[in-house]
């Protein structure tokens, strides 16, 4: 079973705040599901190439082009941000 410390570490990596009283629930629930995954150990996967998706397509690329947007379109994006200043989304200081 995952320890309380494990759960707090995973929460921190996931950028999700959790209350102390929730830790035990997460320990139980996450461990139940992780235990369930153990059945995969019995599958012989020697020499099997893993697949990430099923289309078999390689990377599809496009030009790195600047696209001009109208003021209306810009505002539609900016208006969704919790905090803005002039025509910019305001980000908390990172330095």
Partner 1 sequence: MIKELHEKLIKGETTSVKLTEEYFEKIKNRDKEIQAYLTLTKDLAIKQANFIDEKIKKGDEIEILSGIPVAIKDNICIEGIRTTAASKILDNYIAPYDATVIKKLKEKGAVILGKTNMDEFAMGSSTENSAYQITKNPNDIERVPGGSSGGSAAAVAEDEAVWALGSDTGGSIRQPASFCGIVGLKPTYGRVSRHGLLAMASSLDQIGPLTKTVEDAAIVLSEIIGEDKKDATSAPSFDKRYENYLTGDISKIKIGIPKEYLEKGLDEDIKNKFQEAIQQFRKLGAEIKEISLPHSKYSLSTYYLIMPSEVSSNLARFDGIKYGLRVDDKESSGFKENGIPRTLFETYLDSREYGFGSEVKRRIMLGTYALSAGYYDAYYLKAQKVRALIKRDFEEAFREVDFIFSPTTPEVAFKIGEKTSDLLKMYHSDIFTIAANLSGVPGISFPIGKIKKDGKDLPIGGQLMGKWFDEEGILNAAHTFEINYSQPI
- Does the footprint of partner 1 cover residue 4 (CB under 8 A)? no
Instruction: Name the minimum Å distance from CB 76 to partner 1.
Output: 4
What does the angle CA 5 – CA 22 – CA 35 come to, to the nearest 5 degrees?
65
- Does the footprint of partner 1 cover residue 59 (CB under 8 A)? yes
- Does the footprint of partner 1 cover residue 54 (CB under 8 A)? yes
Cβ atoms of residues 8 and 18 within 8 Å: yes
* Tokens encoding 55: 């289309």
Residues that bind partner 1 (CB under 8 A): 7-8, 10-18, 26, 29-30, 32-34, 36-37, 39-41, 43, 45, 48-55, 57, 59-60, 62, 73, 76-77, 79-83, 89, 91-95
């Amino acid at each position: 079973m995952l320890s309380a410390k494990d759960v707090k570490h995973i929460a921190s990596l996931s950028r999700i705040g959790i209350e102390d009283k929730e830790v035990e629930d997460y320990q139980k629930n996450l461990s139940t599901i992780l235990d369930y995954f153990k059945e995969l150990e019995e599958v012989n996967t020697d020499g099997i190439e893993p697949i990430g998706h099923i289309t078999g397509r390689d990377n599809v690329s496009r030009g790195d082009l600047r696209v001009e947007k109208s003021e209306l379109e810009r505002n539609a994006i900016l208006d969704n941000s919790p905090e803005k200043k002039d025509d910019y989304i305001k980000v908390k200081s990172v330095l």
